[in-house]
Chain A
């Protein structure tokens, strides 16, 4: 298919762009296969480059022959384009609609994008499972790297390499896979080096109504327990939801078959509920006419912060079992691709200081989200402004980032990255020139040769000039477990995402710059002091003559 077929009016002059808190820009609008571009064609004015894939929905309005298109983006920004000429406006609107809803992944921009920067380190090779396993090997010999899924036939949503208990062979894994939803047999998610406890994740067991069991499954997860020790199974669903799942062939681990495990049910919502929550929250944030009462009641009714709280609470529970109780943990919900990953990744941020570094967080996202088979393509197909009925869309990853932001806000010195880093990941998960968040699982990525055909977000991000903006100036490595408060008054609305386009951030940005300035100045002085001290020490040892009067 040629993009040109979809573009009836590639160019319009005299278009006026309205953006909140910024002056209007009049200029020429151009449509390309992947971008909407508006340029005033004057020096020193900023051009607007908007990826079609970032557009969530559009609205048309007409006053006489002047048409307006209101463009609502997946990053929650809303802009307005005034286009002279009814026909031009209609053509442009229909082109945007068509180009922003392309079905085929291989037509997406990452396949056409060529980097304009020097790649220092190819992000596609930065976080390979075999390298991560080397780190684990140095701590314990109880685990092995299995190639059972190398052609993605055992579990279609798992990567080709997974970490499993050493004593469980590949044949057993194949059997266990038939007993778990989507073939997602229990695999290692995290090894707590402090006490050797582990966190595993999986899909729900396919116990069904007649209580099917699988000896290999029991053996697999029991292999992670120390003699005489009990473990915890954290089911992210309520007991009712888990019971109902039995009727559809799913279910949970029964006490009888898993006597060494204590099961705890939590209630993290599933994707359609979360999507609805996002839509309500964004609607509340965009309505400027609210009174205080109405705003607070809409904020409450959106339930967004309740979801944040439930996820954080469950992650704290998992971390507590591992660190405080000295027990191993298995986490699953239904598919094991959404709430499960929220819990396992947040628990690691709480427990493991290395996840709070930039590289470590990228590794976590790569391992616990991208390679673990979170269906980004489906979940991030639409955002809060979509008019179409949601199918598989859900802000699961955004909720995870929101939870990380809540912890970052409570521990502002314990993270190497800043808020911008999290906002950037949110943007790229929904629309990007990079291939990192494309597709739903490793198998699809391999089929489309993503590493060969697209550029990794990490390749771009891990360069000094980008890292500079993403590094937290307050960071001081903290080797401790950090326990976030989940009390309601401790959880705030993430302004950096939800109010980003609704208020001017000038004063806050200035404050941030000022903080960076102070810290740099302090470092400079510290260096001077150290330098002078060294000089003094040298003088004292080299020339004792100077000291005698």
Chain B
């Protein structure tokens, strides 16, 4: 509280950057966690809450006749210095919920239940306890599905030949044709190294799909990056050493390129009165949509291999927690209508992102850390979903607001879900003390339902086949569609009552 010298300021003007006409006058309150602006003139007294952990920097500009302008930048992925996990908002966020119920919140989404939904374990795939204590790979989850024939020595051997011990494990299984998406990190193949167990592991993955005599190994990186990694003793699979694999590069850029791209994109959106050409040139040179297209194209490649060819796919990038997470989850959404439901998307993020060790705290800069670790990887996944929703408006149970809410809370640190960088860290940290976003979202699901969604609709069924012609991609979603949003929420409420 000693930081708050002035808890309340009256007669503050909130300026709308796009249209200055829409500025609002009200009172600004400062609390330990939020800055709150309450409109004073309008009849409904609209409130604007800004979580302090979402603020990236504050710019004090020169005074003018009407006052001293403060420019607050949000969600900008820069450092917020000097915080420990314990200081994050989720550890002080205490809604009025009994402890028993808080515990239940964490049971709401369960990755294991999703494997059961896929029909696993079965005669081809088993639940392995090899990583129970995070000993084989400290960034992997405790529960993993591996081919039935993969013995612990093979798994451990394979993990020693993979970056950070991230051996091939199942991400998605297609009940109908037994094809599976597996994920891992890059092999430590260097220029010539081999590993018998790793070759056996891939063979086991291939054999677990009885209808196919080969499998794809997909390296989501650009070929040049993968080749460069060989010099550091890493790299990619040599087709000659593994039986019946088809190897493929998919050319998605690394986290540093993505971070710069987003930075440029933000600069474009912050230009003062840009011309149409300024905007389009900026959009092009940021490369943002190019990268979104690359991720979506990669997802489509994998989804088609599974659904149309019935061939299993092993996906990796470098460490297998950024591009691999993006691509596996995009492919899952394209393949399985379940992931296009509210609950399904929660499960998917829980499984492919949270449990498989996407480094949320690093990537989303929850704490003071290395700025080179920050990158909008999950943002790109959510944008891919948004682009898909624009093409298939009836196929998704959730709406744009759901994606935006998830996106906000990935950064807000109000809930424990995204705190930490892997399951091992998270179990210790959050389940005992914080609340889960998923049950909050589920309780408020009426806000997040897409009214056009019909489970029985033809475009809802089966594989989605989006077009990725460049002109099918839209610019950043605009949330200005208040006109129609209000109408939908009105209609929905009448229906639900």
A interface list, Cβ under 8 A from B: 285, 288, 290-297, 299-300, 303, 305-306, 309, 410-414, 474, 476, 483, 485, 487-493, 495, 499, 502-504, 506-508, 510-511, 514-515, 518-519, 522, 525
CB-CB under 8 A for A413 and B275, given A288-B469, A296-B289, A518-B451: no
A294, B293: Cα distance in complex, Å:
13
User: Is B6 an interface residue when CB atoms closer than 8 A count as contact?
Assistant: no
Q: B interface, how many residues as a size bin?
A: 35 or more
Q: A292-B473, A474-B484, A511-B394 are in contact. Are A306 and B283 (CB under 8 A)?
A: no
Which of A487, A490, A504, A518 neighbours the largest number of chain B CB atoms within 10 Å of its CB?
Answer: A487
A210 to B392, CA, bound (A): 63
Can you list 9 A-B contacts (CB < 8 A)?
A: A288-B469, A295-B471, A296-B283, A297-B280, A412-B483, A412-B484, A499-B471, A507-B395, A508-B393
List the one stretch of B213-221, B401-409, B452-460 in contact with chain A: B452-460
- Residue among A292, A299, A413, A522 facing the most chain B CB atoms (10 A cut-off): A292
How long is the Cα–Cα vector from A514 to B480 in the complex, in angstroms?
A: 23
Interface bits B102-138 vs A (CB < 8 Å: 1, else 0):
0000000000000000000000000000000000000
A414 to B, closest residue via Cβ: B483
Contact B280 A296 (CB under 8 A): yes
B472 interface residue, CB < 8 Å from A? yes
The one of A299, A411, A504 in contact with B280, judged by C-beta atoms closer than 8 angstroms, is A299
Shortest Cβ gap from B282 to chain A (Å): 9
* B276: Cβ under 8 A from any A Cβ: yes
Per the bound structure, the CA–CA distance linking A411 and B486 in Å amounts to 12
B contact residues around A495 at 8 Å (CB): 471
Min CB distance, B394 to chain A, in Å? Answer: 5
Chain A residues positioned under 8 Å from B432 (CB to CB): none
Q: Mark B426-464, 1 if CB is under 8 A from A, else 0.
A: 000000000000000000000000011010011100000
What chain A residues lie within 8 Å of B484 (beta carbons)?
412-413, 474
Nearest chain B CB to A518's CB is how many angstroms away? 6
- Asked whether A489 lies within 8 Å of B478 as measured between CB atoms, the reply is yes
Instruction: Check if A489 sits within 8 Å of B476, measured CB to CB.
Output: yes
Within 8 Å by CB of B467, from A292, A474, A503, A514, lies: A503
Are A490 and B478 neighbours in the complex by a CB distance under 8 Å? Answer: yes
Whether A489 contacts B454 by the Cβ 8 Å rule is no
B470 touches A488 (CB 8 A): no
**Chain B residues closer than 8 Å to A514, beta-carbon distance:** 393-394, 452, 454, 457
Q: Is B18 an interface residue (CB 8 A)?
A: yes
Contact A490 B284 (CB under 8 A): no
Given the complex, which residues of B lie within 8 Å of A412, measured CB to CB? Answer: 481, 483-484
Closest CB in chain A relative to B494 CB, distance in Å: 7
- Closest B-chain residue to A478, C-beta based? B483
**What residues of chain B lie closer than 8 Å to A296, measured between beta carbons?**
280, 283-284, 289, 470
Q: Which of chain B's residues 18-75 have a Cβ closer than 8 Å to chain A?
A: 18-19, 21
Q: B13 within 8 Å of A by Cβ? A: no
Cα distance, A410 to B485, chains bound together (Å): 12
Residues of A within 8 A of B391 (CB): 507-508
Q: Are A510 and B394 in contact, CB atoms less than 8 angstroms apart?
A: yes
- Closest-by-CB residue of A relative to B284 is A296
The residue that A306 contacts in the complex, of B276, B467, B487, with Cβ under 8 A, is B276
A296 to B480, CA, bound (A): 23
CB-CB < 8 A to B469: which residues of A? 288, 290, 502-503
Residue of B nearest to A308 (CB): B276
Closest to A514 in B: B452
CB pair A305 B276 closer than 8 Å: yes
Residues on the B chain within 8 Å of A294, using CB: 470
A285, A290, A504, A511 pick with most chain B CB within 10 angstroms: A511
CA distance A48 to B471 in the complex (A): 28
Q: Are A292 and B472 in contact, with the CB atoms below 8 A?
A: no
- Closest Cβ–Cβ distance, residue A543 to chain B (whole Å): 29
**B287, B395, B452: the one within 8 Å of A515 (CB):** B452
Q: Which residues of A contact B495 (CB under 8 A)?
A: 522
A106–B289 Cα gap in the complex (Å)?
50
Say whether, besides A293-B290, A299-B280, A485-B18, A411 and B483 are in contact (CB < 8 Å).
yes
Interface centre among B280, B395, B483 (most CB of A within 10 A): B280
The reply to whether B290 and A305 form a contact with Cβ atoms under 8 Å apart is: no
Question: Is B267 an interface residue, CB under 8 A from the partner?
Answer: no
Q: Nearest-CB distance from B90 to chain A (Å)?
A: 33
- The answer for the CA separation of A291 and B276 in the assembled complex, in Å, is 20
**B370 interfacial contact with A, CB 8 Å:** no
Q: Pick the contact of A507 from B277, B459, B487 — CB < 8 Å? A: B459
Q: List the B side residues contacting A474 at CB < 8 Å.
A: 484, 487
Distance (whole angstroms) from the CB of B452 to the closest CB of chain A: 5
Give chain B interface residues in 369-391, CB to chain A under 8 Å: 391
A305 to B276 Cα, complex, angstroms: 7
A485 neighbours in B (Cβ, 8 Å):
18-19, 480
Would you call A511 and B393 a contact (CB within 8 A)? Answer: yes
B 195-222 binary contact with A (CB < 8 Å = 1; else 0): 0000000000000000000000000000
